[in-house]
Structure 1
């Protein structure tokens, strides 16, 4: 059966959908074959629930009845935000570089989860207002020493935004060359929930009040002030294209994540999506290429206000609801074993025929 699929793919390499975009030549046939394989495992129909949906999705993305999760990588992009000078976070800007140092020392939650789940972790300095030693395990990809204060001027120039996106693209290509087919992205940047709220507001049309949350722990008065500032900023500019929106309101690390998602789709990888900021970057990537969503597994629902609305806007359901709102991409790393379980049952669980078990009549 697998050989039949490979031969058909070879005969239909140039198949396209009605819009002229590349599409799996066997999407319909392969979907039926995968569903048959899933349904004929030694279990009642549908009894593995969401794991069956993941198995089907991963098989379709990889165009195979025997999908694999190989050398999964977690890319954390760090950068500072000029808007942090307006006091929109309870933490000072220095926490950005201090947390990067914590990543280097292996002491952050994302270090713990990546070690536990055998996921390679890489940290990128895309725009931290600090000079890291060359001896530290940090990839130096600094575009600028943080973004500008959006209350006064756009966050980035077009050139800076494009350069940051290329950092993400290159990071993914490096992992692909090492045999990675599954990637997640995380971030570190004091003030980046504000950028994410503005991107969500512009791309979904939700009022800024519904897009703005407490971030790393704002009190009620601080949240009201943050919301007022973001509303002022949203009304100050009128960017037209997706690139202009990202340049005006985004962050260097968010632009890098956006580029990483676009490249991961181009490389036909499985993309594990984390919480609020990661989803804001994905929402941005979708403005450039809507098909990115096909490769994405949405790992959890963040406790940050706005994330649930973003997931509803995208029409997706998260795997986990753990009340997390930490950032760093932790929810994606925590969910990786579930994705592996889905692939493993599809490849290793006996079929009814193999096990000699009577199927449902």
Structure 2
């Protein structure tokens, strides 16, 4: 798919927004990062009075061929499907945080190795019953890759039509930290050993084995284009998030970037469309060891660092009230003029 994404910096409202922010009844810069968030959202919406409409988090679930062995992952592959049912039943952390913060939640089967049948609350976007094991063959073929990109984009388009202008992404997929580590190393050129972490709870010896297995997989292929990395090492859920991010940016939505897996999808999107960063707010620093290095590579500061490493979009959901606070002060806080307060000389 082709995406037409404009740089946010191309609009002319920044000076107006900065004046408005600086003339609130506070010292200049006193609200810290909230001021930068307000500025970014105002620029994205090209408005002095931005609004956050129908906030939504999309959770994409998919299985990975390498996880069938159970070597790079302490939990069995069946947990992916079990967690999808948990999402649908409202029992996961992402359900709790979305409900708390009035965020809509959609669950998508991108490629889980399970037949869910017809469940109205589950969006069926299944490409296949999991990817192939990239130890021996590419995770997906070109047709599957293109289908995943399109389905991610189409789901965002539909969500936007429902009135959403701020969107976050989550994921579920046993083994997907391995894919994200491979993608991180490819796109950032950071040595793979520095990209591989504990995932869902590997000990130090298991991490060393994971590094060894992934190093062999990484060296197995010669990639001819940047999109090959997603095809060879990615998961269906990661590819869909890539397409979803690109479509959200094309639609000028504010994008809340979650943790390690979602940022790996963003790295792929950024490689082909660097302007996508203009639409992103980085929610948190994941406890997964490679995530901070990803943020350093992108030169981005997250809103919070709580040591979270759950995935599911939980970092995005927890950070959302801070984003809402940024918009609230911009729209509702008095200026020196309206409050009759003397400003700085």
When the two structures are superposed, what TM-score results if normalisation uses the length of structure 1?
0.93
Structure 2 unaligned residues grouped into runs of 5+: none
**Counterpart in the other structure of 1:171:** 155
Match runs of 1:1-361 below 5 Å: 22-23=6-7, 27=11, 29-86=12-69, 87-361=71-345
Contact kept in structure 2, 1:195 and 1:250, CA below 8 Å: yes
SS in 2 for 1:124: strand
Which structure ranks higher in relative contact order (CA pairs < 8 Å, sequence separation ≥ 6)?
Answer: 2
Contact kept in structure 2, 1:33 and 1:65, CA below 8 Å: yes
Structure 1 unaligned residues grouped into runs of 5+: 1-19
Larger radius of gyration, structure 1 or 2? 1
State the alpha-carbon separation in 2 of the partners of residues 186 and 102 from structure 1: 14
When the two structures are superposed, what TM-score results if normalisation uses the length of structure 2?
0.97
Contact kept in structure 2, 1:104 and 1:136, CA below 8 Å: no
Aligned length: 341
CA apart distance, 1:25? 8.3
CA apart distance, 1:21? 7.5
Two-structure CA RMSD over aligned residues (Å): 1.3
TM-superposition CA deviations, 1:305-361 (whole Å, max 9, x none): 110000000000010000000010100010011001000100000110000000011
SS in 2 for 1:37: helix
CA apart distance, 1:24? 5.4
CA apart distance, 1:288? 1.9
TM-superposition CA deviations, 1:65-112 (whole Å, max 9, x none): 111111011000001000112311000000000000000100000000
Distance 1:143 1:23, change over 3 A: closer
**Counterpart in the other structure of 1:3:** none
CA apart distance, 1:135? 3.1
